[in-house]
Structure 1
Amino acid sequence: MSERKTWQELELGVELPPATSLGYKTGGWRVLRPVWNASECIHCMICVNYCPDMAIPVTKSDEGVAGKGGRMFKGAIRVETNLDYCKGCGICAHECPSKCLSMVREEEAEQASCKL
């Protein structure tokens, strides 16, 4: 067995970038897409916390945004799902207490957006 080295005696290693999944876009193989009804959202951030892909961005709003019942929400608010990273697992819609998220087949969502 070789003798142990101190940290000063160790050979130089490799520098790795911080861990991130931003380089791995997974939205291309999604079957279901979350559709967000912003007017029903209570900005509780449960969907953000449960999303396994961190596909739901959060931003800060000092002015506030209108949500469920016309109530104004300030501070940390949820914004539209980043479909580049969403796999369509549906956890966000399942956990949403205000049911402002629904899962729609990808083809139906694309057809609806083409009609706009």
Structure 2
Amino acid sequence: MTKPMDEMTWQEVEPGGVISEPGCASCYHTGTWRSEKPVYNPDKCIRCQRCFIMCPDASIKPDFESNCMVWDYDYCKGCGICAYECPVGAIEMVQEDE
């Protein structure tokens, strides 16, 4: 793990764009950022999977057993692209506390 910036000298600062430690975004649960969340109505859904395709966070996955879409709210930032792109209005954005 790297040192905090206030403990580094200029000689220890790594050049930008260099990946010095392996990692992935799966350990960063970014869903706590959102103020609105998508609510899915499977009865209206036509299974076009447009929400899955357009989600910038890959937080929507098709569940082939139940023939529905499933949201991973740990990573959903509440951007609303899924609701905007849904051609039949099966996704509604609501306040996070509801």
Same fold (TM > 0.5):
yes
- 1:57 pairs, out of 61, 75, 97, with 61
RMSD: 1.9
Cα drift, residue 24 of structure 1: 1.7
How many aligned positions are there?
A: 79
Preserved contact between residue 51 and residue 86 of structure 2 (Cα < 8 Å): yes
Cα drift, residue 58 of structure 1: 1.8
Question: Where does residue 41 of structure 1 map in the other structure?
Answer: 45
Give percent identity, aligned residues only.
42
Equivalences for 1:17-36 in 2 at 5 Å? 20-36=24-40
Question: Where does residue 92 of structure 2 map in the other structure?
Answer: 102
Question: What stretches of structure 1 of length at least 5 have no aligned partner?
Answer: 1-13, 66-76, 110-116
1:28 counterpart letter in structure 2: T
Q: Specify the structure having the higher radius of gyration (Cα).
A: 1
Distance 2:96 2:45 in 1: 22
Cα drift, residue 81 of structure 1: 1.1
Cα drift, residue 80 of structure 1: 2.5
Distance 1:21 1:30, change over 3 A: same
Cα drift, residue 32 of structure 1: 0.5
Higher share of residues assigned strand: 1
Distance 1:59 1:80 in 2: 6
Distance 1:80 1:103 in 2: 15
Cα drift, residue 78 of structure 1: 3.9
Preserved contact between residue 59 and residue 76 of structure 2 (Cα < 8 Å): yes
Question: What stretches of structure 2 of length at least 5 have no aligned partner?
Answer: 1-19
